[in-house]
């Protein structure tokens, strides 16, 4: 039986769709498996390390002291993971659909969201709620795929507004549903830790497509199910 760890080290493992260029951190977003090439082959870690060291020097710190000596390397690997979504085509998450003959609302609530705001590279976190009404074909996708889709888009430099729209737009494109509704409710550390410093404030964004745009009753029904919890 092959050893996944040795495969990652040698780069012999391949991503499930046959694309050996997808590193294992990125592959995990697609199917949860640590397959693919080592992240060192996909991300210029030494370049990130040099940049982090320069930041520490510019702040007046000593990057060679015990507490900071390994910080550039740690930050480089953390960024490789936090931004793994840049190395994934989100459409690959939705390649599997099912004939379920279901034409009513499908809603997944409270999907955890963690991302980095592209303005300050500080975190924002909260929950996403995703609902869609399948088209006349009745095709659906796995519920976990909705969470993975959020994760792929979240692991990029982001703004909450764009993240909300990206999820809705790709679901419309790939599932061809009658409508999609996406709502994100997040707290932003760029507001809590700096600037106005208002911890606990929440930002809510929504994107509605298809029938949810045209039919106020359908939109209200979906929103009531989202808010009810």
- Give dist(CA 221, CA 182) in Å, integer: 13
Contact 114, 150 (CB under 8 A): no
- The tokens describing 169, both together, are 């737009």
Could you confirm whether 186 is annotated as catalytic?
Answer: no
> Which among 40, 120, 187, 213 is annotated as catalytic?
120
> Which among 7, 117, 151, 186 is annotated as catalytic?
117
- DSSP sequence for 34-58: --SB-GGGTS-HHHHHHHHHHHHHH
Could you confirm whether 137 is annotated as catalytic?
Answer: no
Could you confirm whether 117 is annotated as catalytic?
Answer: yes
C-alpha distances in angstroms, 18 versus 27, 37, 206?
11, 12, 35
> Which among 21, 41, 102, 119 is annotated as catalytic?
119
C-alpha distances in angstroms, 86 versus 42, 137, 157, 214?
11, 32, 9, 33
Could you confirm whether 197 is annotated as catalytic?
Answer: no
Could you confirm whether 129 is annotated as catalytic?
Answer: no
Catalytic residues: 117-120, 160, 188, 190
């Amino acid at each position: 039986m092959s050893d996944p760890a040795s495969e990652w080290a040698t780069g012999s493992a391949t991503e499930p769709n046959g694309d050996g260029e997808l590193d294992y951190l990125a592959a995990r977003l697609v199917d949860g498996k640590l397959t693919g090439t080592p992240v060192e082959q996909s991300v210029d870690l030494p370049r990130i390390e040099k940049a982090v060291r320069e930041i520490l020097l510019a702040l007046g710190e000593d990057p060679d002291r015990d507490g900071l000596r390994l910080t550039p390397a740690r930050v480089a690997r953390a960024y490789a993971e936090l931004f793994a979504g840049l190395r994934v085509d989100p459409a690959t998450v939705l390649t599997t659909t099912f004939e379920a003959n279901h034409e009513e609302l499908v809603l997944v609530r409270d999907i955890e969201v963690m991302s980095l705001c592209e303005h300050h590279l500080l975190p924002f976190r909260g929950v996403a709620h995703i609902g869609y009404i399948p088209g006349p074909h009745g095709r659906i996708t796995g519920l976990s795929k909705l969470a993975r889709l959020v994760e792929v888009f979240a692991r990029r430099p982001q703004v909450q507004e764009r993240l909300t729209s990206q999820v809705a737009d790709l679901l419309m494109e790939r599932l061809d549903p009658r409508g999609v509704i996406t709502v994100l409710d997040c707290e932003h550390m760029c507001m809590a830790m700096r600037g106005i410093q208002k911890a606990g404030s929440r930002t809510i964004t929504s994107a509605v497509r298809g029938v949810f745009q045209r039919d106020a009753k359908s939109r209200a029904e979906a929103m009531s199910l989202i808010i009810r919890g």
